[in-house]
Amino acid sequence: MPDFFAIDIISIILLLSILQGLIFSIVSITNKGHHMSSRILAMIMLVLVWYQFEFFLVREVIEWNFDLIYGTRYGSWLILGPLIYIYALSFTSSDFKLKWKYAIYFIPFLVFTIALPLIAGDLIPERGKYYGMLTVMKLPKMGLTGIQAVYGILFFVQFIYTAAFTFLSYRKVLAHSKVVENNFSDVSYAWVSRIIFSTGIILVTAIAFFILLYFSSIYDRWMDHFYVIPVTLLIYWISFGGMRKNELTERPMVPIRSWEKYEKSSLTEIQAGEIVTKLKETLSKDKSYLNNELTLSNLADQLSVSPHYLSQVINEKLNTSFYNLINEYRVEEAKRLLKESNGDKTILQIAFDSGFNNKVSFNNYFKRHTGMTPKDFIKQKS
């Protein structure tokens, strides 16, 4: 066992990230108010904790008799990619349920990381526990068996496998968010997109790092921090960000249907013009955009028109999406409230009064629309 009074600041940070990840996972799994996606995120977090604990053991040179703790050497990253992909699927389906067909994604992990090590044992040389990368770099010199050589190659492949699933996940969320923008006025895909994107950056960095080491042979233990520290930061960011922004209790917003293209639409130019006029009048007079849960279907009901026609008019006649249209009105309302405010309301209160449901979305869209933050807008006013 290590002398805990002698370990350095990096190891302390690792231990704290492990503790933070465990707390986050327990809260996410046990809270009944959380959506299925939060439980999948908790599983992702537990996997990240596993990686951190492994690196802590290696860093402190702690012997552990259960070899699967050293999961990265056995391809433990093979589980992360499928989990991220399923997490993305949970955000793009309102009735998402875990299905047996998803098990096929985990076959490499179950075979190489769980089954073979438990059945065969001694699949990697002892040195491989502490220098997994060097197991690959020195294949010709170490007299490895065939299966040990396979695991040496697997060390690389697991990151590529996970990166592929991460890429598919990001494309899935990105494509779906574009559909949702035409149906909802508040789109909360930034959170899941950033998690996937951040994981992707870590993987690309790790792969580039391993390739560099393979061809240069300049490996040293401290270099592992190039991907371990980003994983640590990801754990803290998911934990504190998820709790602070209530992302764990928000359900994914999925359109009632994915509207088909408009080529076959029977909407005439006259009808489209009437809908545009009615839309602008309703938004100006009734201020429907102040409802932070406003959807395309809600607004279509108010206008007594087909949601399909309304979506077509917004896209083709106004050259925007439902999401952008509504938030433009909200920003104009916020500008009016900021101008009239004498400091009696906070920016967060004005955000809520304008129809936004959180300060982050408000700040981001306000800056995108006006070129300045709400605080800068207030300073400019004064």
Distance CA 137, CA 125 (A): 13
Q: What is the residue-averaged pLDDT of the chain?
A: 78
For 26, 159, 198, 280, the CA distances from 360, given in Å and listed in that order, are: 26, 33, 19, 27
Question: 136 to each of 59, 113, 124, 154, 158, how far by Cα in Å?
Answer: 20, 17, 11, 9, 13
Show the CA angle centred on residue 284, arms to residues 282 and 286, nearest 5°. 55
Q: Stretch 176-189: mean pLDDT, rounded? A: 60
* pLDDT of res. 259: 45
The CATH class that applies to domain 9-249 reads mainly alpha
The average pLDDT across 69-87 equals: 86
Other Cβ atoms within 10 Å of 129 Cβ, number: 19
Superfamily of the domain at 262-381: Homeodomain-like (1.10.10.60)
> According to the model, what pLDDT value does residue 256 have?
43
| Burial bucket for residue 104 (CB in 10 Å: 0-12, 13-18, 19+) | exposed
- Residues 6 or more apart from 85 whose CB is under 8 A from it? 105, 165, 166, 168, 169, 172
Stretch among 100-114, 227-241, 317-331 having the lowest mean pLDDT: 227-241
pLDDT at residue 172, as a whole number: 84
Q: Which residue has the tokens 């999961």?
A: 71
Q: What is the pLDDT of residue 344?
A: 78
pLDDT exceeding 70 applies to what percent of the chain?
A: 74
234 and 263 in contact (C-beta within 8 Å)? no
Q: Which of 126-140, 290-304, 337-351 has the lowest mean pLDDT?
A: 126-140
pLDDT at 132 over 70: no
CATH 1.20.1070 location in the chain: 9-249
- Lowest mean pLDDT across 116-120, 127-131, 147-151, 310-314: 127-131
pTM of this prediction? 0.67
